[in-house]
Amino acid sequence: AWLRRLLAAYRHRAQLLIDALREHLPEVQATPVSGGASCWVRGPDWLDAAELARAAVELGVLIEPGSVFFNEDTPPTNYFRLGFSSIDDAQVAPGIALLAQALRALAPPQKT
């Protein structure tokens, strides 16, 4: 019974995360969560997720840069992981809104 409740809570929180990403960060691609406690995200090609992690932590948001998970000489720098297992439901959307703020602050200037 406890595992069923835990899985239901994680499914719900994962959906909250995906919904928040769609609302606040439409420029990223999230891999649908199918089990587990984190979500893989592909940011724009220009993104350095390590820089994003540093900027986000200043706003109270923790992400995990994804380059360490690639077995390549030059791994992509625009992937990151978002863990959600220990985040309260009510903090998911505000946290993603702050992450969006951090990402946009790093964005290169738009060409006009």
Largest CA distance in the chain: 57
- For residues 70-97, average pLDDT: 94
Q: Which range is least confidently modeled, 13-27, 28-42, 57-71, 77-91?
A: 28-42
Q: Coil, strand or helix: which one is 12?
A: helix
- In the chain the first and final C-alpha atoms are separated, in Å, by 57
One-letter amino acid for residue 40 of the chain: W
Which letter does DSSP use for residue 84 in this model? -
pLDDT of 43 over the 80 cut: yes
**What percent of the chain has a predicted confidence (pLDDT) above 90?**
78
Beta bridge partners of 77: none
CB 67 within 8 A of CB 79: yes
Contact indicator for 39, 17 with CB cutoff of 8 Å = yes
Q: Is the dihedral of CA 101, 103, 106, 112 positive or negative?
A: negative
